Amino acid sequence: MMQQQSINPYNPEIAKERMTQFLQVMSRFETLNWKNIIDIATVGVWDVQDRDYLFVKSRQWESEGKHPKDVDGLEIRIRGAVASSFHVAERWGIGVGSMVFAPELDYDQWEIYNPDLLIANFNEGNFGEWTGPPRTGKTSGACVFIEQWISKNRLAISNVFKKSETNAYDYANNARDLFELIANYPRGKKWIFIYDEGGASGYSKAQAMTLKSTYLNNVCRIIGKLYGNVLYIDQRQLSVPTTIQEFSTSRYHSIQPGMVHFELSHPMEFNRVVGGFPKTSLPYDTRDIASFEMNINTDKMFQAMSGELKPYQALQDFLQTKESIPPKGRKL
């Protein structure tokens, strides 16, 4: 009698695909909610104690009003638990096929949506953030945002460098140029400032008390007071200025080129991964290292505009004074 050959059902290609899915999910950990965490634990954490711990603690932390990103060590614990599960699957040759990390497999194509969804939560004094790993389409996505924004006869400013001339947006890579543009915009016209790659400009959560980050937060605040909006682009949400983190009603996370997670909260609510997100047609320089110089004394600017019946004129006048220059040695 012929002996039946044993078949190892473990497929390294499927394992690689599943691990890639998991890493894609974890790359946007700052955007995950508790349902996402429970789903990850359900399919990816095989140790019963670790899994049950995540189930119970997720409910507890949710009831306390926390988000997954607020729990110290949670991301590392999940990564370790799932990695152990993959090692078990590899050792015993079973189960990896069930490790499906949604929602990356569960998404709609962008073409089925009204493109106004992209700008729905921006009107006056609104904030948003666009995050994601390097080379996943963050700046291109923000330029698609600009295209949709200006289609409504609105104005845009950005430190995204133009590869060739375009009238789609005004370029400003320092605070003085930014506020000179704002001061001369028609009153009542809706506008937005798209700030690209804040990491290159030196902001981080660890620098929350530095002069530079204080000035940057002040810039974000005054833009809101001048009826403008801000969309901030950076690799990690933790690097986004405090003001924008606290008040963002639109969050976008590039998972990979053409795939974006939308998290809109007010007034439009929408939480979904979309595929087939288009590339921009704007001629921006994808290789430019974006920077933004804080060459305005924002404290003095606030004082100059405070109590003025014509704040835009006060801003124009202030920019012509020596007081607008940061203290010597503090050009940021």
Binning pLDDT at 50, 70 and 90, where does residue 211 land?
A: low
pLDDT of amino acid 88 = 84
Task: Give the integer Cα–Cα distance in Å for 238 and 256.
Answer: 19
| Residue at 12: amino acid letter | P
Q: Which two tokens stand for residue 320?
A: 């012509």
Question: What does the pLDDT average to over 57-84?
Answer: 93
CATH 3.40.50.300 boundaries in the chain: 108-324
Task: Give the integer Cα–Cα distance in Å for 229 and 233.
Answer: 13
Q: Assign residue 200 a region: left if phi > 0, alpha if psi is -120 to 50, beta otherwise?
A: alpha
| Residue at 275: amino acid letter | G
Question: What does the pLDDT average to over 66-95?
Answer: 87
pLDDT, one tens digit per residue, over 2-51 is 444 444 455 677 778 788 888 878 877 877 889 889 989 998 899 999 99
Task: Note whether 206 and 326 are within 8 A (CB).
Answer: no
Backbone dihedral angles phi then psi of residue 133, each to the nearest 5 degrees: -60, 165
Q: Which residue bears the tokens 């999910």?
A: 25
Four-way CATH pick for 108-324: 3.30.70.20, 3.30.110.30, 3.40.718.10, 3.40.50.300: 3.40.50.300
pLDDT, one tens digit per residue, over 54-65 is 999 999 999 999
pLDDT, one tens digit per residue, over 173-202 is 999 999 999 999 998 899 999 999 755 544
Task: Give the integer Cα–Cα distance in Å for 101 and 41.
Answer: 10
Q: Which two tokens stand for residue 193?
A: 């400032």
